[in-house]
Structures are given as C-alpha cells and as structure tokens.
Structure 1
Amino acid sequence: MRNRKGLIGAVVVTALLAIYVWAILGRARGLVSTGEPVGIAIGIGVLLIPLLVIGLIAWEFWLAVTVQKMADELAAADELPVDDLPRSPGGRIDRAAADAAFEEHRARAEEHPDDWRSWYHVAFAYDASGDRKRARAMLRKAAGMYRAERKAPR
C-alpha cells in the first residue's frame, strides 16, 4: 500500500475547513435574516468567501488526483522523473545541474508539445530548479492534456 500521509493530512484539514464553513454559514444566515440591507450585504459577503475557498480546495483535490493518476501511469511505464541531481552537503540541489536538466526536459517538451508526459517532466525540472510557481503551472498544463487525452475518442 502506498504512503497516504499527505492524503490523510489533506482530508483532516478539509474536515476542519468544513466545520469552519458550517459555523460561518450560521453567522451568514443570521446576518441575512436581520432584513437590514447592510446585514444582508455582509451576510452574502461572508457566504461568498467560504464558497470560494471550497471551490479552490475542490480544484486542488482534482489536480492532485489527476497528478497521482499520471504518476501511476508513468511509474508503470518506468518513466517517472528521477531525482538524481547532485546535492550540497546540506541537501540543496546543485543549481547548475538543475538548470541543465531543466533545459533537457524543456527541449523534449518543445519537440513533443502535445505529450503530457514531457510537460510533467518539465514541471518536476522546474521544481528541482526551485521555481514552484512554474512547476505548478506545468503540472496544471500536463494534467489538462492528460484529461483531454482520456476524454478523446479512441
């Protein structure tokens, strides 16, 4: 069985958020039920924030499930990214080596722009280079391509 600590942590945090949202919904309902225009406006605003948060969390869970499916498929094909970059004694990845590896993955992705696997590898190369924002963007791109490939008629 795979290590599920991350999933368990995410579920626990989401459950705590659900309790928070439940409490907020009660407050928002109370504000709206006052009948006062200001109370109604504040109540609606209080409702929108948790709904936005719930939507964002659902989106992240959807991404996580897709990335796990992608990783499982890559693992089955023995194509998972390998973390073999040289490290300092403190454990930091050698920046020059990470940049060189990134260039290899970027070039492969440019050669195969419609292959989600290449963008998945670019995402992990960005992560190794320390650019988490672009790494997430590339994971989202790869996940979108993966989902589209699964929906396409064969």
Structure 2
Amino acid sequence: MVGAVVVTLLLGLYVWAVAGRGIAMIRTGEPVVVAIGAAALVIPLLVVGLIAAEFRLATRVQRMADELSAAGDLPVDDLPRSPGGRIDRAAADAAFDTYRAAAEAAPDSWRAWYHLAFAYDAAGDRKRARAALRRASSLY
C-alpha cells in the first residue's frame, strides 16, 4: 500500500505540472496553443479518473479478501513450485479447471470469480485474472 501511495503522489505531481502547462498555454490566447493546452488538460483528467478507479477496485478487493478470510475461504497458494520458485504449469492448469467450472456453475457468485481470478494469476494469465477480479468486484 505504501508503494501505491508513493506512486500516486508522484503521479499527482506529474498531473499538477501538466495541468499548469496546459493552463499556461491556454492563457497565451494563440488559437493553436490554446487548443494544445486544452488537449493537454485531458491527460490529467484521465490520470485522476484511472487512479480513482484503481483505488476503488483495490478497496473493494480488500473488503472481499477480508470477508473470505473471516469465512476461512481465502485462496491458498499451495501449488507445487520449481526450485526457482515458478509455479508448476500443469498443476496450475489443473487447479484452474476446477475454479473455472465453479465460476461457470455460479456466474453470479463473486466468490467464484474471486477464486477464478487467482487461478488465472497462478496460471500466468494476468489480463484475464484482472478481468475476473473486476467481475468479482462488480458482483460484490
């Protein structure tokens, strides 16, 4: 969490600097420079919106994790690993099939999607893991 806050503060400085430059450009009164300045102000708005969405997702995921932990149903990372620490791919794929079947059987269960997200992550598919976690969050 500390790392996320530090990165967010650094992005805040970036947003402030870009917004300042955009406003300065708009104040020149030159039509082309004003247009560029207005376009530059879109970047800080996007950054702030994306950061806010990520923090909302993170807090919701933490609440889900707390609830699963209290129920003793938090995903357990017990997959076999190589001496280098990499998860055994065959074991991850076998575990994945179980969680995928559970999510297909209960498509409205945030718990099933939460578990599926961590199965995707163990299988190395970060993009689908994130999508499943977002789905779990929206169902929560």
TM-score, scaled relative to structure 1: 0.89
Q: Distance in 2 between matches of 1:12 and 1:109?
A: 35
Are the equivalent residues in 1 in contact too, given 2:15–2:47 (CA < 8 A)? no
Match runs of 1:101-120 below 5 Å:
101-120=95-114
Matched, 1:129 2:138: no
AA matched with 1:42: I
Partner Cα distance (1:95, 1:124) in 2: 14
User: Whole-Å Cα distance in 1 between the matches of residues 10 and 86 of structure 2?
Assistant: 34
Find the counterpart in structure 2 of residue 36 from structure 1: 30
Is 1:9 the counterpart of 2:38? The answer is: no
Sequence identity percentage: 69
2:35 aligned with 1:56, yes or no?
no
User: What residue ranges of structure 2 are gaps of 5+ in the alignment?
Assistant: none
Tell me how far 1:15 sits from its aligned partner: 1.1
Q: Tell me the TM-score normalized by structure 2.
A: 0.97
Deviation at 1:120, TM superposition (A): 0.3
**What is the number of residues matched between the two proteins?**
140
- Post-superposition, which runs of at least 4 consecutive aligned residues in structure 1 deviate over 4 A? none
Asked if 1:96 corresponds to 2:90, the answer is: yes
Alignment deviations for residues 111-136 of structure 1 (CA, whole Å, 9 cap, x no partner) = 11111000000000000000000000
